[in-house]
Amino acid sequence: MRLSRLATLLLGSAALYACSSEDITNPEPPPNSAVRFINAVADTGAVDIRAIDQVEFSPYANSLNFRGGTEYFMTEAKSRQFRVFPTSLNIGVTSTVLLDATVDIPANGRYTLLLVGSARGGTLRFVLISDDAAPPPAGQISVRMVNTASGAVSGYLVNVVADPLPGSATFANVGSVSASPYVSRATGAAAVRVTDQGSATVNASVAGPTGPAALAGAFPAAGVSWAGTAFSVYYFPPGVAGSPQNAVSTPGAVWFVDRNPCDAPAVAGCATVNP
């Protein structure tokens, strides 16, 4: 009996050894990109967004409010299917599909899936926006503007929100649901003021985030005071009267981080940090 059991154990060990070099699953991830969601729908409440084609390598959003955004998620790059649902604790409400869309995600990039349109009008859609900002020049940050409103706007990059408008716009004639090119500027206080195209009336002003002081042994955080950071300043319309966004009565702008300081090579304070 003991010899028989020993033989069985030896045979099992041999079988494990035989398959160990041939049957191991390749751990390499599929072609992928970094993807985030931003909600620019002005006539409904918060939404949940899910990839329904697969669970792994998929971005998602929970209770994403108007003018809100998610972090970037590693996302498998291919044709992907997403659904948008109203956020609710009532299963009869939250199971309602507001949008079922297929989006082609290119590989090796950084992207925003911008949710736009009207929930009430049934015109929701995703707009894919590339966030592949080139590394800013040494000692500088990069900023661009993305317009989610229905008409063209202009943006002015100034030091503080109380500054008068310069003679010419930094981001001129940015069309509806489109992005301006990035511009570079030295680190330090920064703000963006937005007008309708051709108007001198300011619709929205917002200061850029400075970023906290770097902790010992840690990478610097994103901020207008940290070289290597790239931002998109999103301009949003007011909420639609009589909708869940009724209280959002004025246009607004929000700074979103597209690139962290240490995403760029040779940024001061990055190479010497041990992550």
pLDDT tens digits, 221-249: 899 999 999 999 999 999 999 999 999 99
Q: How confident is the model at residue 274 (pLDDT cuts 50, 70, 90)?
A: very low
Q: What is the pLDDT of residues 124-138, one digit of tens each?
A: 999 999 999 888 999
Q: How confident is the model at residue 22 (pLDDT cuts 50, 70, 90)?
A: low
pLDDT for 9 beyond 50: no
Query: What is the strand order of the sheet 47-51 is part of?
Result: 61-64, 47-51, 79-86, 99-104
Residue 68: predicted pLDDT: 98
pLDDT for 201 beyond 50: yes
* Residue 113 or residue 261, greater confidence: 113
Query: What is the strand order of the sheet 125-130 is part of?
Result: 73-76, 32-39, 110-116, 125-130
The residue type found at 266 is A
Report the C-alpha gap between 197 and 151 in whole angstroms: 8
Instruction: Report the mean per-residue pLDDT for the chain.
Output: 90
Task: Please give the average per-residue pLDDT across 164-175, as a whole number.
Answer: 97
Q: 79 and 104 in contact (C-beta within 8 Å)?
A: yes
pLDDT for 275 beyond 80: no
Report the C-alpha gap between 272 and 275 in whole angstroms: 9
